[in-house]
Chains A and B, each alone.
Chain A
Amino acid sequence: MSTTDFTVTPLPRWWQNRVVRKFFGHRLALLGLVMIALLTLACIFGPYLLPYDSLYIDLRARFAPPLTGDHYFGTDPLGRDIAARLLMAGRISLLVGFFAMLLATILGTFIGVVAGYGGRVVNAVLMRLVDGFLSFPTIFMLLALAVALQPSPIMITIIIALTGWMEVARIVEAEVRSLREREFVLAGRMLGLSQAHIMIREILPNCMGPIIVAATLTVARAILLEAYISFLGFGIQPPLPSWGNMLNGAQQYLGSAPWLAIIPGAAITIAVTSFNFIGDGLRDALDVRNDNF
């Protein structure tokens, strides 16, 4: 009988480190992260530091171009400070984007897990529901809902979430379908764990990678959608500022005061591309197949 000298060999927790390392090695993703961090900090603290309130109307300083006195980004047709309005609008737009993502991800994950783990009938019903939602033109549905319902920021968030959960559901469903045949899930059934336990505590943690990636990209999409419907006048209603309705107010002055459109437009572009970069970076970092090793 040979003796078994099995001691636990401590390996470095390279997996966790590897993802972090790969993410930080992704330059654009890092840039996106820095931009979002700056934008968020500016939106939280900026309004307290600026000399003008976002609602303060100064009719003598209408249409001031950027860098006029303390109006760093100029003023709008009512003489309100654009920098202050931009940051206040950023609060609304980022919050709408974030919470729409949260709702969409939770809903999509729930439906995806149940559809993926459930039997044929459950899967067919839920996934056809997903197909049904996907077959509506998103913008049309958004506008229709926004017209029909009271367009408060909370309602806008819910409406955007309702049009954005299907992608997450599809990703999660596919992931769960492949995981449910894995032996550790069978082992859970062998141990007599309940279905809910297996779905939530055994399978779900293993899908977190794709979910996080999808969630990040959903934020970008939600910010864009909010801007879209606000620009068309069905979203966030003035005097509450959002990046989208700032653009709406700017369209008639495009020739005479282009900064009215350029500044919120740039904010939207920066936020959306930054989130997309982060999403791409996370996707690469979490994807083992892209590894050289």
Chain B
Amino acid sequence: MLNTKRKKIPVKYIVIIIIVIIMILFGIFSYTLKEDRKLNVVESLIKDAVVGVQKVVYAPFNYIFNLFSDFQELEKIKEENDILKTSIDRNSAIETENIELRRQIEALKEELNIDYVLTDYEYLNATVISRNIGYWYNTLTIDKGSHNGIETDMVVVNSTGLIGKIISTTNFTSEVRLITTSDTNNKISVSITNGENKLNGLINGYDYENKTLEVEGISNTEEVAIGDKVYTSGLGGIFPSGILIGTVESINTDEYDLAKIINVKPSADFDDINYVSILKRKSDK
């Protein structure tokens, strides 16, 4: 007669196996959840293929949605048009000044023998395909990839200010990490402009309660006022200088009363991002 009795595995072994599996999984997660993990060839191909299908599937919905939103915006556009008409004269003066400043910069670059300055960058426009599924990842997927010259760490902005940076690319898509991520590994160097003064600090993270960015590294003796504009400083090598981040909303001091902790209200609306521009520093060439 066959022995049909199965050997029972002792509970302690099962517990050990489960613990080992959990540890292995966490090891895998801590490796694969690294921001700088590059997608492998298979992942890139799958992502490109699915996003290609998504674009085709979404096209009619996007068309209808855009029709409705265009219609809704008509009223607003009329008002904006009246305001714009009044500022056209001022713009031509600014443009003339801009041309003159550019000419001076070029002359200085030539004189000092440098190829680029921190404000030099080129724009590349992209459409958002999907965003932030599952909430925690704080990312957007855009329809431009390495095929279009996009690389990791490039800066992403929209018409209102800084949005984030590229964290991974496939041939035809890229993943953008928003600056509202409380990621202490990615501090952004910023300048706070108060009249003639220009103070440098670092964005230390995002405060989800107050919906503000926290800027640190500014001495308590320095003068900062509520409403001051905050721009990227260009230091650190990733973000070009002069990109608007937001305005100072409140000012506190650290526990030792030595440095200021400045809460900055971002200028970009992170809930409503449909089109973005990717900035390519000229030094990236």
A in complex with B: no
* Interface of A toward B, CB cutoff 8 Å: none
Instruction: Enumerate chain B interface residues (CB-CB to A < 8 A).
Output: none
